[in-house]
């Protein structure tokens, strides 16, 4: 019997490309972007080297760069100057997120998918993702009313895909009903179905100037639970979600693979701020090859089953991928 020699298929770069089981394309990458109200110039985010809170001017330039790089879309977050208990700025047509959405729709709406974060945490003075009850807990059903209002304003502003990240029960059904009732039947919903109460969100809190007091463990998923992520995804699909997502990505690849195995709709993953910051820090210290680590991390997320990845490296990675082609 001849010896089995799998190395034959690894012998050259051309062979490795030809037999690769998983590929990453620029169109499968989504760039999260932060726009800061009142900013005259981009504001660097210390814990996320290379990422900024954009002014409206720098935002336009960054949108053009994303479109030129061929990424699939942008996910927009607003950083308001003022906050209150119910997140009024989220439903103000002149609030920063809705202004940014109109800019993005006008500038690149034909070139990529304009997506918006539908959550109250950036806009509340307590930093939670919903309206608080008298006892300080997050009131699920009162929050759904605010989400419905947000959905309509974001859709009117030009968002093509609403990212429901608040993890309230029945949020997909509530938003879908509100959209359809006002004629926005073509506006799609991305449900953050498997969103875990993770320590890896730390740098994001700086990015949106979070005012969070306490934690979000009563509504985000327990990191110990694998099946619960699949259950949440199934519920969101049944309520009318067009896409479901697992967040974070790298330490929840088992959940991502489980969801991808059973979902009949697209499954995405969010490579979150902490994942980004760790690779950037290790690379800055010379401990890892930055480019190889970034691309390997994206391949791993795609290999686990993500159809698309939200990543702060979207534009840079898209350019690298174009070079490799």
3-state helix, strand, coil in the chain (%, to 5): 45, 15, 40
Domain-located, residue 1: no
Q: What is the CATH number of the domain that holds 103?
A: 3.20.20.70
**Structural domain span for residue 221:** 25-324
Domain-located, residue 5: no
Domain-located, residue 189: yes
Local confidence pLDDT in tens for the 325 residues of the chain = 789 999 999 999 999 999 999 999 999 999 999 999 999 999 999 999 999 999 999 999 999 999 999 999 999 999 999 999 999 999 999 999 999 999 999 999 999 999 999 999 999 999 999 999 999 999 999 999 999 999 999 999 999 999 999 999 999 999 999 999 999 999 999 999 999 999 999 898 888 888 887 789 999 999 999 999 999 999 999 999 999 999 999 999 999 999 999 999 999 999 999 999 999 999 999 999 999 999 999 999 999 999 999 999 999 999 999 998 7
The CA distance from 228 to 306, in Å, is: 18
Domain-located, residue 75: yes
The CA distance from 218 to 210, in Å, is: 18
pLDDT of residue 76: 98
Domain-located, residue 104: yes
Which structure tokens are listed for 285? 């210290």
For 69, 111, 231, 256, 266, the CA distances from 226, given in Å and listed in that order, are 35, 36, 9, 9, 19
The CA distance from 126 to 59, in Å, is: 27
Going by C-alpha positions, the residue among 131, 120, 116, 128 that lies closest to residue 90 is: 120
Q: For residues 78 and 97, is the Cβ–Cβ distance under 8 A?
A: yes
Domain-located, residue 122: yes
3-state SS assignment for residue 29: strand
Task: Give the strand pairing for 308-310 and 52-54.
Answer: unpaired
> Residues 37-75: pLDDT tens digits?
999 999 999 999 999 999 999 999 999 999 999 999 999
Which structure tokens are listed for 286? 């010379």
> Residues 286-324: pLDDT tens digits?
999 999 999 999 999 999 999 999 999 999 999 999 998
Question: Of the listed 195, 201, 233, 263, which one is catalytic?
Answer: 195
Which structure tokens are listed for 270? 């969010």
Alpha-carbon dihedral angle through residues 33, 85, 99, 186, given to the nearest 10 degrees: 80
This prediction's pTM: 0.96
Domain tally for the chain?
A: 1
3-state SS assignment for residue 114: strand
Domain-located, residue 176: yes
- Bin 98: left if φ > 0, else alpha if -120 < ψ < 50, else beta: alpha
Can 213 be counted among the known catalytic residues? no
Going by C-alpha positions, the residue among 240, 233, 306 that lies closest to residue 271 is: 306
> Residues 112-125: pLDDT tens digits?
999 999 999 999 99
Domain-located, residue 113: yes
């Amino acid at each position: 019997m001849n010896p089995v020699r799998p190395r034959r298929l690894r012998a050259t770069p051309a062979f490795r490309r030809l037999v690769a089981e998983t590929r990453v394309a620029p169109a499968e990458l989504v760039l999260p972007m932060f726009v800061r109200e009142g900013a005259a110039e981009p504001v660097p985010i210390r814990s996320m080297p290379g990422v900024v809170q954009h002014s409206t001017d720098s935002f336009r330039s960054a949108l053009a760069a994303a479109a030129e790089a061929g990424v699939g879309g942008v996910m927009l977050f607003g950083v308001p100057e003022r906050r209150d208990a119910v997140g009024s700025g989220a439903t103000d047509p002149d609030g920063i997120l809705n202004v940014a959405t109109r800019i993005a729709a006008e500038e690149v709406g034909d070139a990529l998918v304009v997506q918006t974060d539908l959550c109250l945490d950036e806009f509340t003075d307590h930093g939670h993702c919903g309206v608080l009850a008298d006892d300080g807990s997050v009131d699920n059903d009162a929050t759904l009313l605010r989400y419905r209002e947000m959905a309509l304003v974001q859709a009117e502003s030009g968002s093509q895909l609403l990212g429901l990240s608040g993890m309230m029960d029945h949020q997909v059904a509530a938003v879908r009903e509100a959209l359809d009732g006002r004629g926005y039947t073509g506006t799609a919903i991305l449900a953050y179905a498997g969103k875990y109460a993770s320590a890896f969100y730390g740098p994001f809190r700086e990015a949106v100037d979070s005012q969070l007091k306490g934690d979000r463990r009563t509504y985000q998923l327990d990191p110990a639970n694998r099946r619960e992520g699949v259950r949440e995804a199934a519920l969101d699909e049944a309520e009318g979600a067009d896409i479901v997502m697992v967040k974070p990505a790298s330490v929840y690849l088992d959940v991502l693979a489980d969801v991808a195995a059973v979902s009949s709709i697209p499954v995405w993953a969010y490579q979150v701020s902490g994942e980004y910051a760790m690779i950037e820090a290790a690379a800055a210290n010379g401990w890892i090859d930055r480019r190889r680590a970034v691309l390997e991390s994206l391949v791993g997320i795609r290999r686990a089953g993500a159809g698309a990845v939200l990543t702060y490296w979207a534009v840079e990675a898209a350019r690298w991928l174009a070079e490799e082609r």
